[in-house]
Amino acid sequence: MLPLDGITIVALEQAVAAPFATRQLADLGARVIKVERPGTGDFARAYDETVRGMSSHFVWLNRNKESIALDVKRPEDAAVLRQLLARADVFVQNLAPGAAERLGLDAAALLAAHPRLVVCDISGYGTGGPYAHAKAYDLLVQCEAGAMSLTGTEREPAKIGLPVADLAAGMYAYSGILTALYERERTGRGGAFEVSMLEALGEWMGYPAYFTRYGGTTPPRSGAEHATIAPYGPYRAADGARVFLGVQNAREWSVFCGQVLRLPELTTDPRFATNSARVANRTALRERIEERFGRLSAREIERRLADARIAHARLRDVTGFTEHPQLAARDRWRTVDSPVGPLDALLPPVTVPGREPRMDRIPALDEDRERILAELDDTSGETPGNR
């Protein structure tokens, strides 16, 4: 058995944040019934066609799920949704602001009808306040949360290449649902909670927020370097390749100077004696490091770093990541079924010895309609989960 076997989740979801949360719950064994728009479905289905005609976002976020298409504004389809909710343990929605309330799917109404239900609402900015009804896309929330002000070069900010606002909201929705289910086991009652993209990403902004609020200045944009740690980032070798490394503390700095650079005198140079001093004298520090690295190949630098146990990495592109030898050695790839045939998929990152996570099919739009409706018509079925 998987931990969430027997848990049913009804998800009125779209795009990234809610599907990311529910897919992780499905990986743990939960049954996720994805309610989609008739005709078009989750609009993430049409983001691109790169996975043999399917959207890369949709393939990533929707394995292990069942799909039923409902126009929840029509009375007959709304009745189907309410039947599903009567049998569900969890309801998740990330519709446009105010949409759930207009449909009668607000948390108060649902909990009045189903006291054991867990209700998770995901939005851009949360309930109340001047932004409550603003549309929220990942780029826009990155801007509002200040994340983009930290990313890029000194001259130009840059969007973070992953949808971090969506991912942050999805992660807190995932953990919030697990917490609510655990609480229900103790109290016998469900409950409701909300997650906003702004506040989720805001939690991830903790260090720069404290740095700025109490230090008086914002961490500068520093490209691939670290705004407040040095040496940390890429350094050029004699053959033109860049070696990425990170020195985190005084002991590592001493080892780095002695064993890698073979310049132990740098540890007593007042410009470099502490991390704060090294950050303040970053340009001079880079000159000294690259002066020595400029005599060595990248392979030799990496050998010295490994021998000294200084953290370092090779810059890989996305193909390099998918072909990473560590993933292959740990057997992290599986095959999942889909409407376009078998596709490769990474295992979830939580590894439990002796327990294989669920890696089932990615559904076509409305693929599971007949079976789901047949279950609802079967009055001899199992007792609804939230009653």
Find the CATH number of the domain harbouring 300: 3.30.1540.10
Residue ending a domain, among 279, 296, 315, is 315
Contact in structure between 23 and 61 (CB atoms under 8 Å): yes
- Measured CA to CA, the distance from residue 235 to residue 88 in angstroms comes to 54
In a domain, 226, yes or no: no
pLDDT > 70? residue 364: yes
In a domain, 218, yes or no: no
Instruction: Report residue 383's pLDDT band, with 50, 70 and 90 as the boundaries.
Output: very low
Residue 268's Cβ-side half-sphere holds a number of Cα atoms within 13 Å equal to 2
pLDDT at 380: 45
In a domain, 3, yes or no: no
Percent of the chain surpassing pLDDT 70: 98
**Residues 305, 350 share a domain:** no
**Residues 162, 296 share a domain:** no
- Measured CA to CA, the distance from residue 383 to residue 219 in angstroms comes to 55
Q: Domain of residue 270: give its range.
A: 232-315
**Residues 289, 336 share a domain:** no
In DSSP terms, 152 is beta-bridged to 157
Q: pLDDT of 36-46, one tens digit each?
A: 999 999 999 99
Residue for token pair 């549309």: 135
pLDDT at 271: 96
Catalytic site includes residue 312: no
The domain that contains 185 carries what CATH number?
3.40.50.10540
- Cβ count within 10 A of residue 359: 17
**Residues 100, 175 share a domain:** yes
In a domain, 32, yes or no: yes
Residue ending a domain, among 315, 348, 368, is 315
**Residues 332, 308 share a domain:** no
Instruction: Report residue 153's pLDDT band, with 50, 70 and 90 as the boundaries.
Output: confident
Q: pLDDT of 214-232, one tens digit each?
A: 999 998 888 888 888 999 9
- Measured CA to CA, the distance from residue 71 to residue 78 in angstroms comes to 7
The whole-model pTM stands at: 0.90
Instruction: Report residue 387's pLDDT band, with 50, 70 and 90 as the boundaries.
Output: very low
Beta carbons within 8 Å of 49's beta carbon, 6+ residues apart: 55
204-208, 302-306, 343-347, 381-385: the lowest-pLDDT one: 381-385
Number of domains in the chain: 2
pLDDT at 384: 47
**Residues 156, 115 share a domain:** yes
pLDDT > 70? residue 386: no
Contact in structure between 222 and 189 (CB atoms under 8 Å): no
Residue for token pair 């310049």: 263
Report residue 336 as tokens: 């999942």
**Residues 330, 309 share a domain:** no
Instruction: Report residue 379's pLDDT band, with 50, 70 and 90 as the boundaries.
Output: low
**Residues 288, 243 share a domain:** yes
In a domain, 1, yes or no: no
Number of H helices, E strands in the chain: 16, 11
Q: pLDDT of 107-129, one tens digit each?
A: 999 999 999 999 999 999 999 99
Residue ending a domain, among 267, 295, 315, is 315
Of the residues 57, 114, 226, 312, only one is catalytic, namely 226
Average the pLDDT over 175-184 and give the result.
98
Characterize 297-335 residue by residue with b for buried, 16 or more Cβ atoms within 10 angstroms of its Cβ, and e for exposed.
ebeebbebbeebebebeeeeeeeeeeeeeeeeeeeeeee
Contact in structure between 260 and 308 (CB atoms under 8 Å): yes
Q: pLDDT of 48-107, one tens digit each?
A: 999 999 999 999 999 999 999 999 999 999 999 999 999 999 999 999 999 999 999 999
**Residues 369, 261 share a domain:** no
